[in-house]
Amino acid sequence: MRKILGRYNPNAFLLAAQLLQLILYAAFDGLHSQRAVISVFGALLLVLVVWVVNRSPARDWIAILLAAPALVLTLLSIFIVNGNLVVWSALLEGLLYFYAAGSLIVYMLNDDEVTVDELFAAGVTFTLFAWGYAYFYLVCQAWIPNSFVYATHPGQPLTFIELLFLSFTNLSATGLGDVVPVSAVARVIAMIEQFTGVGYVAVVVSRLVSLSTARRKARQR
């Protein structure tokens, strides 16, 4: 299985798919078909995440254990409008994304060579963290109402794309913007995400940059 999948670059596919999903969120915003389209595409992302884990040193069965029920719940949510399905699916997907991000970090730190696949993995890991925290924000909002305040419509629950926007701005340390966590649990998750973003850049990204620079200097000698 690993030999067959190893011929391809799953990190590039996953990164492209996640960026495409952002475009789909914007393209189908406000349409009745948005939930179905995003759910189907989300199911595809789950398969790609498992593929990414398969390429890393991590154990496949953990990813499959998280992805299988999340996939079922995601597909059920297309036909059944039930908030509990979405929440439990989000929880499982968040755990899967964090596990995949950790697997890629181990993969990138496993050697002293910087490959094209590892450069894609660096970008994918960042987006996996962003999506994972966004799913956790969604669960937090469902279990603790009014955990977040949005300047344009205070008192109303945030959509996933709004929570994903919060996650990206928080993870990249560009500020909270117009979405503010107000409950204690939401603020703790936000602080942990800020720490994750800073630590990821300081440890993983800086290491890749230094290795790339060292290899370039070695070639010039």
Angle of helix 83-108 versus helix 34-55 axis, rounded to 10: 30
Q: Please compute the mean of the pLDDT values over residues 109-138 and round it to a whole number.
A: 87
- Closest C-alpha among 176, 180, 185, 135 to residue 155: 180
Give the confidence band of 134 by pLDDT, cuts at 50, 70, 90.
Answer: very high
Phi, psi angle pair for 156, to nearest 5°? -105, 145
Residue 209 pLDDT? 74
Collapse the DSSP code of 182 into the 3-class scheme (helix H, G, I; strand E, B; otherwise coil) and give the result.
coil
Domain that holds residue 110: 2-220
Distances (CA, A) of 48 to 52, 63, 133, 217: 6, 11, 18, 35
Phi, psi angle pair for 30, to nearest 5°? 85, -5
Model confidence at 45: pLDDT above 90: no
Residue 58 CA to chain centroid, in angstroms? 17
Integer Cα distance of 126 and 107 in angstroms = 14
Residue 147 pLDDT? 93
For 121, the token pair is 């993995």
- Closest C-alpha among 52, 199, 22, 23 to residue 120: 52
Condensed to tens digits (0 to 9), the pLDDT of residues 70-115 reads: 888 888 877 777 778 889 999 999 999 999 999 888 888 887 777 7
- Closest C-alpha among 123, 145, 124, 139 to residue 189: 139
The DSSP symbol for 153 reads S
The H or E element spanning position 180 is strand 179-181
Condensed to tens digits (0 to 9), the pLDDT of residues 146-201 reads: 999 887 777 788 888 889 999 999 998 776 678 889 999 999 999 999 999 988 88
Residue 52 pLDDT? 82
Number of domains in the chain: 1
- Closest C-alpha among 186, 164, 189, 160 to residue 177: 164
